[in-house]
């Protein structure tokens, strides 16, 4: 029996030229992503070689673990912009929002209106992989009551929903948009996550995509998604990023 590797196309041909990566952790020393400014620049440089040159990077805002504020995020973003300029990366466009854990701290920020959006009214949010907040649907309602649109990061990774697929329909009905992690199309998070991502794709429940890049290993894995089949499956999502968030 013969086994053939899937034929890959260059990532620079996989991503549209106007693609915007709306989920990554590229700001230095602020969460579990880039550790310092050198790593930030190395990650961005590598992604640029893949054809990704537009970023809305999204550091975690997560209680006492990553107690980032709008101000600290903006300061780190400026540091990266200055380093890119110093290194003559003039074709890179980078802005920053945040990946908000839907917890009490987030509810307080929402109440104050102290929110960094992806663009316009879109907010990137997440929750525990194993235990969603009891008041999840109330939080989603409050987000929209404040005039924002919730974009749920990597819904395929919420293990508690893998055997309760109806919840995904309920979330969509509640006004939640879905962002696929591109790495979920690889073995990075396990077979159950990949199967859930495939089903969500087949049922056309996703709205956007993101790399969720934290480190070089993620970028190495990312190369394996660049098949014609995958490109066809997610082309509309790649275009949505540029259309709505570019």
Q: Residue 1: inside a domain, yes or no?
A: no
82, part of any domain: yes
pLDDT at 3: 45
Q: Is residue 160 part of a domain?
A: yes
Three-state SS for 153? Answer: strand
Element spanning 219, H or E: helix 216-222
**Which three-class secondary structure state does DSSP give residue 158?**
coil
Task: Say if 7 falls within a structural domain.
Answer: no
Q: What's 215's DSSP letter? A: S
Give the per-residue pLDDT at 7. 86
Q: Please count the CA atoms within 13 angstroms of the CA of 108 that sit on its side-chain side.
A: 7
Residue 5, domain member (yes or no):
no
Sheet hosting strand 54-57, strand order edge to edge: 20-21, 54-57, 93-96
Each residue's pLDDT expressed in tens, for the chain with a length of 246 residues: 444 457 899 999 999 999 999 999 999 999 999 999 999 999 999 999 999 999 999 999 999 999 999 999 999 999 999 999 999 999 999 999 999 999 999 999 999 999 999 999 999 999 999 889 999 999 999 999 999 999 999 999 999 999 999 999 999 999 999 999 999 999 999 999 999 999 999 999 999 999 999 999 999 999 999 999 999 999 999 999 999 998
Residue range 112-167, pLDDT digits in tens: 999 999 999 999 999 999 889 999 999 999 999 999 999 999 999 999 999 999 99
Q: What CATH number has the domain bearing residue 168? A: 3.20.20.140
As a whole number of angstroms, the distance between CA 195 and CA 206 comes to 14
> What is the tally of structural domains in the chain?
1
**Does residue 8 sit within a domain?**
no
Specify the pLDDT at position 5. 57
* pLDDT for res 155: 98
CB 32 within 8 A of CB 60: yes
Neighbours of 109 (CB within 10 A): 17
Contacts of 189-193 spanning 24+ positions with Cβ under 8 A: 189/156, 189/157, 192/159, 192/162, 193/156, 193/157
- Residue 4, CA distances (Å) to 1, 8, 220, 228, 230 in order: 10, 12, 20, 15, 17
- What pTM was estimated for this model as a whole? 0.95
Structure token pair of residue 79: 């540091």
For residue 217, give both structure tokens: 């290993």
Q: What would the two tokens of residue 29 be?
A: 């020393």
Conformation bin of residue 87: beta by default, left when phi > 0, alpha when psi is -120 to 50: alpha
DSSP string, 125-147: EE--SS---TTHHHHHHHHHHTT
In angstroms, rounded to a whole number, what is the distance separating the alpha carbons of residues 100 and 145? 17
In this structure, is residue 137 part of a structural domain? yes
| 6 located within any domain | no
Show the domain range for 145.
14-245
pLDDT of residue 197: 98
């Amino acid at each position: 029996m013969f086994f053939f590797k899937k034929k890959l196309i260059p990532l620079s041909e996989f991503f549209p030229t106007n693609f915007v990566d709306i989920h990554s952790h590229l700001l230095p020393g602020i969460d579990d992503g880039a550790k310092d400014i050198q790593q930030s620049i190395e990650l961005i440089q590598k992604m640029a070689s893949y054809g990704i040159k537009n970023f809305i990077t999204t550091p975690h805002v997560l209680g006492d673990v990553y107690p980032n504020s709008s101000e600290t995020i903006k300061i780190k973003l400026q540091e990266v912009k200055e380093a890119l300029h110093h290194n003559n990366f003039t074709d890179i466009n980078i802005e920053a929002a945040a990946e908000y854990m839907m917890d009490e701290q987030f509810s307080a920020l929402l109440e104050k209106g102290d929110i960094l959006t992806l663009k316009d009214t879109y907010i990137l949010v997440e929750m525990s992989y194993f235990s969603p907040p009891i008041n999840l649907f109330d939080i989603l309602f409050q987000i929209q009551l404040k005039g924002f649109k919730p974009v749920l990061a990597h819904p395929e990774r919420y293990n508690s929903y893998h055997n309760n697929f109806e919840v995904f329909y309920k979330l969509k009905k509640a006004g939640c948009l879905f962002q696929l992690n591109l790495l979920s199309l690889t073995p990075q998070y396990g077979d159950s996550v990949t199967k859930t991502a495939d089903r969500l794709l087949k049922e056309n429940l996703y709205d956007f995509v993101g790399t969720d890049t934290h480190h070089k290993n993620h970028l190495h894995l990312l190369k394996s998604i660049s098949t014609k089949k995958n490109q066809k499956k997610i082309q509309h999502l790649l275009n949505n990023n540029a259309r709505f968030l570019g």
